[in-house]
Amino acid sequence: MGTGREELLQRLWEAQDEAYDLMAEYDSLPHRYGDNVLYQAEGHIIDLIADHPGITVTELGAILHKTPSACSQIVQKLRKKGWVLQSRNQQNNRQYNLTLTESGQRVYADHTRFSQNCQDLTFGLLAEFTEEELEHHLRVQKKLNLAYMGDIQRSKEAAAQPAGVDEPEEMR
């Protein structure tokens, strides 16, 4: 059995895993925004187009850390629903700029209200914590994020290694 600190760190690890699973499940579910149903990824793209009228699919991909192809598929769904317009860029004939239709603007407003309500409920659950406690949690979360970034980097480096090459010592 580990020390009290090790046990606490293990519980923290498990809570992070649970949070990840819950967020992944939430993101995979369709959500009702007013009279419309859409997925979280669609809502993010609607928000970005509203916040950056004229944005391109490539720019969406860069912001969301997704491929332009993945963003393009979502944009096509949103176009079919009548929420997004795609128009040829006058300065670059190979690019298309995205804007919301009037219907898309209503979806954006409904999504914004829904998101604000979720945030208000969450912040209400956290009301018992002092600013100092929240700052402490934020510091811990930033350290965990650094660990995750390191894991990602090491995994990318290991995947890039030719077969038969030993993995870096810190991966063993």
84-106: pLDDT as tens digits: 999 998 888 889 999 999 999 99
> What are the pLDDT digits (tens) for 137-164?
999 999 999 999 999 999 999 999 887 6
As a whole number of angstroms, the distance between CA 26 and CA 132 comes to 29
Q: Which helix (H) or strand (E) holds 38?
A: strand 36-39
Residue 167: per-residue pLDDT = 58
Residue 83: per-residue pLDDT = 97
Residue 163: per-residue pLDDT = 78
Give pTM, 2 decimals.
0.79
Indicate the range of 34-43, 62-71, 104-113, 156-165 predicted with least confidence. Answer: 156-165
As a whole number of angstroms, the distance between CA 83 and CA 123 comes to 31
Residue 70: per-residue pLDDT = 95
